[in-house]
Structure 1
Amino acid sequence: MADPAREEFSDLIQRFIESLSGITDRLPFDLDRQKLRSITTFAALSVAIVFVLKLLRTPPEHQRRQQRPHNSASGPSSGRLRSNTGFPSSEVISSSGNSRVQDAVDEFFRPVNLTLEQHVRHQLNEGRKVTCQLLGIILEETSPEDLQKHATVRSSVREVLLEITKFCDVYLMERILDDESEERVILALNDAGLFTTGGLTSEKVLFCSTENGRSSFVRQLEPDWHIDTNPEIIHQLSRFIKYLLHISPKKSEGAVSSNVYSSSSVEQFFGCPEKS
């Protein structure tokens, strides 16, 4: 007679592999099943063995509870008791197997909580130079006219920007209307502590008098990433810059190049996703 544990073990592995196949069918890109078959099978088998061995281990307390009816039963009723409780029905085994496999699959594919550093590095995709507009992204102000009155660094972006400067050469740039605006911006960045780590300096904050001037700065610096709020500049640079991030409260409409990303803020795109 076959060992029920071995049969269940084999069944769980098979169900686990089938579950993985179902997941690959829902991926938003095509996979070469012929090339990946051996790798997928090996990986699925390895993971299944780890999870199934844990799932099949019966705690000592549970074993003792199962033994009590067998030892304590006596007389004609003992046979009926054993026949009813000794082995679960096939429906129960199947249901238990499905539940265990699903639990194993859910555990294996559970999202990993990344640190801010890990998420920033992942989003940068090995980029080493970043150029970024100031207004509406790093600063609270949204127009050059605002900078003639005040300049304020957005508190929520500070930590993410400092993290980016650890891995990238960062240049900040903006269009201004007068020299006093430049002074306010530099002072605000310094007061926010953005010049203290050495990754960002005042010499890497560039100013111009036109929107085309900002685009020209980017072309000259040839960054891996450029971040901007102006959709026209994003469109113009999409042919020359590897990655672009369009900061906008609304999602971009119409055709967008494959190297252009959209987000409501830098911290939302590069920062850790909110935990549900």
Structure 2
Amino acid sequence: MAEASKEELIQLIRRVGAFLTVKFSNLFSSFTFNNLNSRSIGAIAGFAITVVFTWRLLRTPRGPQRRVQKRQASSPSSSGAAAQTNAVAAASAVCNPSGDLRAQNVVDEFFQPVKPTLGQIVRQRLSEGRKVTCRLLGVILEETDPEELLIKATVRSSVLEVLLEITKFCDLYLMERVLDDESEKKVLLALEYAGVFTSGGLVKDKVLFCSTENGRSSFVRQLEPDWHIDTNYEIISQLARFIKYQLHVSPNSTTRTMASNVFSSPSLELFFGCN
């Protein structure tokens, strides 16, 4: 049983080697040494490891199997049966669809693309922008109107992971129009309770408050961010000439005509592919 299992493993490795030869011939033809990246180098290293492992396994002495064959050769009747058995085994090794399928599955799993992290997605979607301004109502907070802040302020739990990823590599400023000082305190306490300030990327001094919508627009103009995120279509339209990229967050944003540098999404997290 042990010899059979070993032989089966060797056959599988041989098939994997054959499939790898095809895979890497296609891979090497698709790039040159001038455009090697970390994934290409990793693939080459993995291939080298596979070749070494296969070579070492195939060169392992198979003494016990030779001795069994010699003992079988001493009997004329058993030698004929052994020859027939070897012929069947050889044929099954060459024409074994299930073995080929297993080898193909191993190779496909080896070459399965690596899923990007949320941080990588955020950087890619923001086009490596380093400064971001974002309004609070309707984007970070569940409340959508300044009057609601007179009662309470609640951070949307679904946006927290994306927000924290943005603060890791972006200079982020949050801003909102409020009606009184108590509303400011409620917002800051809600952000602090949600852990937004504990990541080190955002401090309370970067949470800005104003008394008018035009005040928020003035903040953005002064800060000159790479990205501005807002729910107010009028502000988005006014800033389109001055800001490199903008994101309009609104359930109905896709029904309006946007400038070429303005993107739309029902929520901030959905813009980055988070449900």
| TM-score, normalised with respect to structure 1 | 0.66
Structure 1 residue 110: Cα displacement: 3.0
Would you say 1:85 and 2:92 are equivalent positions? no
> Residue in 2 aligned with 1:207?
209
Partner-residue secondary structure (3-state), 1:252? helix
1:169 corresponds in structure 2 to 171
Corresponding residue number in structure 1 for 2:6:
none
**Structure 1 residues 78 and 99, CA gap change in structure 2 (3 angstroms):** closer
Change (3 A) 1:10 1:139: closer
Amino acid at match of 1:85: A
What CA distance in whole angstroms lies between the structure 2 residues aligned with 1:204 and 1:178? 18
1:220 equivalent to 2:222? Answer yes
Tell whether the 8 Å contact from 1:19 to 1:105 is kept in structure 2 after alignment. Answer: no
Matches within 5 A, 1:43-192: 48-51=47-50, 54=53, 70=69, 74-88=78-92, 90-92=94-96, 96=99, 100-101=103-104, 103-112=106-115, 114=117, 120-121=122-123, 123-192=125-194
For the 8 Å contact 1:234–1:244, the answer to whether it is kept is yes
Structure 1 pair 110–147 and aligned structure 2 pair: CA distance change class (3 A) = same
> What amino acid does structure 2 have at the position aligned with 1:86?
A
Find 1:38's aligned residue among 32, 53, 62: 32
Count of residues in correspondence between the two structures: 253
Q: Residue 246 of structure 2 aligns to a residue in which SS?
A: strand
Q: Could you tell me which runs of 5 or more consecutive residues in structure 2 were left unpaired when the two chains were aligned.
A: 1-10, 73-77
Paired with 1:152 and 1:217, the residues of 2 have a C-alpha distance of 23
Aligned to 2:75: none
Change (3 A) 1:155 1:59: farther
- Inter-partner Cα distance in structure 2 for 1:240 and 1:253: 23
* Residues 130 and 224 in structure 1, CA contact (< 8 A), matched pair in contact too: yes
Q: Give the distance between the partners of 1:138 and 1:53, measured in 2 at CA.
A: 53
Q: After superposition, what is the alpha-carbon deviation per residue over 1:6-51, rounded to whole angstroms, capped at 9, x for unaligned?
A: x968853452147659xxxxxxxxxxx8xx5434899676654444
Contact 1:175 1:209 in 2 (8 A): yes
Equivalent residue, structure 2, for 1:25: none
The SS at the match of 2:190 is helix
Contact 1:162–1:194 under 8 Å retained in 2: yes
Question: Aligned residues: percent identity?
Answer: 49
Compared CA separation, residues 199 and 113, structure 1 to 2 (3 A): closer
Corresponding position: 1:12 with 2:19 = yes
SS in 2 for 1:76: helix
From the superposition, tell whether residues 17 and 200 of structure 1 become closer, same or farther in structure 2 (CA, over 3 Å).
closer
Q: Given that residues 222 and 241 in structure 1 are in contact (C-alpha distance below 8 angstroms), is that contact kept between their aligned partners in structure 2? A: yes
Change (3 A) 1:78 1:195: closer
- Aligned-residue Cα RMSD (Å) equals 4.5
Task: Note the alpha carbon deviations across 1:144-171, whole angstroms, 9 max, x for none.
Answer: 2212222122234345434433433221
The normalised TM-score by structure 2 is: 0.66
CA distance, structure 1, for counterparts of residue 201 and residue 59 of structure 2: 58
